[in-house]
Structure 1
Amino acid sequence: MGASPASGWRANIVLYAALAANLGIAVAKFVAAAITGSSSMLTEGVHSLVDSGNQGLLLYGQRRAKRPPDPEHPFGYGRELYFWAFVVAILIFGLGAGVSVYEGWKHIAQPEHLRDPLVNYIVLGVAMLLEGTSWAIALKEFAASKGEMGWWEAVRESKDPAGFIVLFEDSAALAGLVVAGAGVWASHAWSDPRIDGAASIAIGCILATVAVLLAREAKGLLIGERANPEVVECVRAIVGRQPGIVRINHVRTIHTAPDRIFVAISADFEDHITMGAGETLIETIEHELKAALPMLSSIYIRPEKAEDAPQVAAVG
């Protein structure tokens, strides 16, 4: 049964909130930059515009990832979301950080006289309010999903990039707003417009750091990551307690989507088990695994003796 529109909206509330906030903020920042000639405000506008595009790409990726399996992609299209998450990281680095550093350098090389900063302060205040609301929503949703894990551990173990990407983007946006505000104030206080350019470069460095972190996490998901250790241990426990199983040789898993896992199990069956009994045992194991772990979309169980099973340094 497909998800209702309401449930789809609820699942993507972080992305929709961030998209709405960034679109409004981008327009306001560009208007303020045009009125005041602030370099840091211009780069902040580019930052918000890039963030808006990123949320759009993640929503697009989520929709594409929900396509059902077909003969060409028998495990579905779930990992396409990871591809778009990697694209988002590249855009943050190339467009967000790149434009910010370039505009800052240009403003230092050719300083422009700053006009009344009041408009900048108003826009920065509104942007702080909107970004803070989006950040609070993203933080609440991610905190609810991480359970007992620490924050960084939760990011490393997360298989759904949308949640932590928005959280990282909003955190970078809030830091950028603080830097932009400080740059505008210092430029006027000390009558040196080059400080505003330096603030733009600082914002670019913040974005570059976030982009590198996101790219590293997205790369791991795109290549293929194992399921969380708790899932692997649950699989081992269910298989290991079955009568007729001598030992488990290995359990190998890979996420084919944030909520779908392929698992391959090699187990040593008792020698006296007939082919018919073995088939029944495999069906029983598959039924119990899917009942306990609904995210197991594909289960492969291979009976083989321990000495015949290929050995690997790590399992999961």
Structure 2
Amino acid sequence: MIELLHVPSLLTIQDSGRKGYRKLGVPVSGYMDDYSARIANYLVGNLGKAPLLEFFLSGPTLRFNTSAVFAVAGNVDVSLNGVPIEPWGSYWAKRGDILEVGTLRSGLYGYIAFAGGIKCEKLLGSCSTYAKANLGRPLKAGDKINLSYAILSGKEGRELPKELRPDYSGKEVTVSVLLGPDLDHFTRKGVETFLSEVYTITPNSDRMGYRLDGKTIEHSEKGAGIVTSPLVPGTVQVPANGKPIVMMKDAQTTGGYARIGVVISAHLSILAQLRPGFKVRFRKVSVREAREELLRKEKTLRAIKLFLEGKMNAYKVRAGEEEKVIFVG
């Protein structure tokens, strides 16, 4: 069991999401940055979909009431009993130890994983918090959280090399989109604007959706309204004001604004880590390219998992002016 002593910002339990209930109006929810969250789980020997703690900007202070192996994912200061330790590594904590997680230096979301995962009651097949429907709730100081049983030996001492850690320090990123399905609600100029202009993340953004500011996207004579239609995380709606909204993990399942595109699933975690004031551009890709990008992401995560388990070696090599990491089994 762990006990939360200080919770300075939004802290929730999340897993890989609530699948199969969108037809009933229930959002998927789950990790905002599934890439970082899955690595956090791999660091402590869990499956990538295991429930863990997701914190927004600033992490909690907690006390271990039992022995545990944990890992913190994020560019953040971490200390155990007042002694600084590195994030992106797994550590053994004993009963009475205090873990303090600071404020992220880059990105918006960080993760704390525990060997065995968090023991929680699944609601509609998931432990993910979706507070608007009372599917879980944000955590607060004084809460006690049970951890699932796990054999701890061999789980501590894993470390993700710096070259493999996701970098969310960039203040402008480009994400790929599939155009449509409501392109007839936009002029050619409107679509060109969407693909050529830079948009800014506004403070009025959350787990439900990221509202963007920038050059207005022009609608056709059909206007911004459509018959209420399905939405998925990544869908880009454009309401009457011409400013795009990107649906995120807690997004509603249907909407009545024209959809100009969908951010590919492989890039949604990159977008999720952009802070208000940061910039984003959209690049058109084909369905084949989107699938290839997702396959590359999954292959990389699988290689990282095997590397952390000691089943694969990683090497840093130089290709021209760029450095990259390759894995050798």
Give the TM-score range, shorter chain.
under 0.3
* Structure with the bigger percentage of helix: 1
- Relative to its length, the structure with more strand (as a share) is 2
TM-score, normalised with respect to structure 2: 0.27
Structure having the higher Rg: 1
Compute the TM-score of the two structures, normalised by the length of structure 1: 0.28
